[in-house]
Chain A
Amino acid sequence: MAVPVATLVLLLCAWEAAARLLHINRVILPAPSEIGVAFRRNYPRLFRETGITMEESILGFILGGASAYLLAVLFVYSQIIKDAVYPYAVALKSTPLIAIAPLLVLWFGNGLLSKVVMSALVAFFPVLVNSANGLTAVDPEVLDLMKSLSASGWQVLTKIRIPNSLSYLLAGLKIASSMAVVGAVIGEFTGATEGIGHLINTSSYYLETPLMFAGVIMICVGGVFFFGFVSYLERKIVFW
C-alpha cells in the first residue's frame, strides 16, 4: 500500500512543479492544485453525477449479469438454444458499443434506460462465456458419481453445476463490473442530460479542463470501488 501511495504523491508533486515552472496552458494540462479547486467548487455536483452513472452501471451490471447467467444455464440443457443464440452473442460482442449507441438512445431515450441497456450489453458477454464454461467444466467423475446415484437433471444442476460455476461466474462479474461503467459512460456521451459522462462532455465544450479531470477521477474511483466490491464478494462466496 505504501509504495503505490508514494508513487502517486511523487507524481503529483512532479506534475504540480512542471505545470508551474513550465507555464503549461491550464486548458491543456491543469495543475493538481487547480483540479483540487475545481473539485472543491463543484463537489456536490460531481458526487451527484457520479452517483447517477454508478446507478446506471450497477443496474446494467445486474440486468446483463443475470440474463447472461440464465442463458448459460439454458445452454447446458439445450444445444439447439446454444446453436441458435451463441453466434449472435459473439457478433454482438464484436460490434463496438459506440457504433450502436446512437441507435440505443433513439430506441430507449436519453434517460436512465438507454444507459442501463448499454451497460447490460457490455456486461453480458464476459458473464455468459464464463458461466457457460463453469456450468459445463465439471469433473467427469463427479458426473459418474451422480449418475451412479441416479441423480435427476435438477439435482445435478443445483448440487454440482451451479456451485461449480460460481468461481467462473465471479471472475466474469469482475470483468463485467468494469465493462458496465464503460457502457454507462458511452451512453452518457451519446445522449444524456446528466451523469458523469455528460459532465465530462460539457466541460470539454467549455474548455473547463480542471472540471473534466475532476470528473474523470470521480468515475475512476467509482469504478475501482465497484470492482473492489465484486472482488470482495468473490472471496466471500468462492471460499474453497
Chain B
Amino acid sequence: MKTDAAMVEVESVSKSYASADGAVRALDPVSFSARDGEFISIIGPSGCGKSTLLKIIGDLIGPSQGSVTVAGHSNHIARQEGMFSFVFQNPVLLPWRRVIDNVRLPLEVLGRQSRDPRQLLAMVGLSGFEDRYPKELSGGMQQRVALARALTFDPKVLLMDEPFGAVDEFTRAALNKQLLEIWQKIRVTVLLVTHSISEAVFLSDRVIVLSSRPGRVKEVLEVPFLRPREAALQETEPFQEVVKFLRAKLE
C-alpha cells in the first residue's frame, strides 16, 4: 500500500494573530512530512494550535509564514483539485438532506463521480439508513455519515480534527476500529488531531507531539506496533509504555 513518496510536506509553517497586546504567536515554525498512505496523529495540550495547523494544511486559513505542498502542488491548488477532506468534531450534516444526499454532497460540489455513496455507507455500517434524516441518527451514527461523506470523492488527504471528541468512550472505540478498517481498504493519507494519547498510538504510524502555545514539534514517535491492530493491543504492556512515554512528553 505505502510508498515512500512524500504526500504532504509541511515546511516551517507558523501562525500569529494580531491582538490588542500585539501579535500572539499561535504556532512556531512547524515542519514535517507525511508519506502517501501514512496515518499521522497530532497531539498536544489544549490551545497548542494543532487545529490551526490542520486548517492551515487544508488551506482553510493561511499561514503567517511557511508553505505546504501536497503531491507536489501548493495546498491551495490541492484544495481546488479536491484533494483534501475534512472531518470535524461535529458531524456537520445538513439536516434537510437525507443521509445518502449528505454523503453525496461533495460529489455534487466537485462534479465528480468517484465512489458509490451507498457502498461507503455500507462500509461504515449504515446500510439501510440511506433515506433517513440526520436527526433520526445517534451522534456516533452521524459521525460515521460524516466519515462516509469525507471519503466519497477519493481525497488524497483526510484531515480529522478531533472527530470522535464529542462521542462517548464506548462509541469512540467502535469508531476507531471502523476507521482503521476503512483506512486499510482505502488508500488515503490521514492527519488526525486528537486529545487522546492512546487513540493516537492505536491508530497511527507516527505520532507528532506539539508543545503548548506557541506550538512547535516536540517529539515525533514512530509507533512500533504491527498492523492489523486489534483492540486488545491497547491492554498490553508495550502499548502502555508508549502511552506513558508520550504523556511524559506532553507534561
Taking Cβ atoms with an 8 Å cutoff, the residues of A that contact B are 139, 141-142, 144-151, 155, 159-160, 163, 166, 239-240
Binary contact readout B27-63 vs A (1 if CB under 8 angstroms, 0 otherwise):
0000000000000000000000000000100111000
Between A and B, 10 residue pairs with Cβ closer than 8 Å are A144-B86, A148-B159, A149-B82, A150-B79, A150-B110, A155-B109, A159-B109, A163-B94, A240-B96, A240-B135
Check if B129 is an interface residue, CB within 8 A of chain A.
Answer: no
- Determine whether the beta carbon of A160 is less than 8 Å from that of B58: no
- Seed contacts A139-B92, A147-B60, A149-B82; 15 additional CB < 8 Å A-B pairs: A141-B90, A142-B94, A144-B55, A145-B86, A145-B88, A145-B92, A149-B109, A150-B79, A150-B109, A151-B109, A155-B109, A159-B94, A159-B105, A160-B94, A240-B135
Known A-B contacts A141-B90, A141-B92; A148 and B79 likewise in contact (beta carbons under 8 Å)? yes
Assembly CA distance A145 to B88 (angstroms): 9
Q: Which of B79, B84, B108, B133 contacts A159 (CB 8 A)?
A: B108
Interface size (B, Cβ < 8 Å)?
26
What residues of A have a CB within 8 angstroms of the CB of B140 in the complex?
none
* Inter-subunit contact A148/B58 (CB<8 Å): yes
B79 partner residues in chain A, CB cutoff 8 A: 147-148, 150
Chain A residues with CB under 8 A of B90: 139, 141
Residue of A nearest to B95 (CB): A240
Q: How far apart are A170's CB and chain B's nearest CB, in angstroms?
A: 13
Known: A159-B109, A240-B135. A148 touches B92 (CB 8 A): no
**B226 CB to nearest chain A CB (Å):** 33
- CB contacts under 8 Å to A, within B58-113, are 58-60, 79-80, 82, 84-86, 88, 90, 92, 94-96, 105-106, 108-110
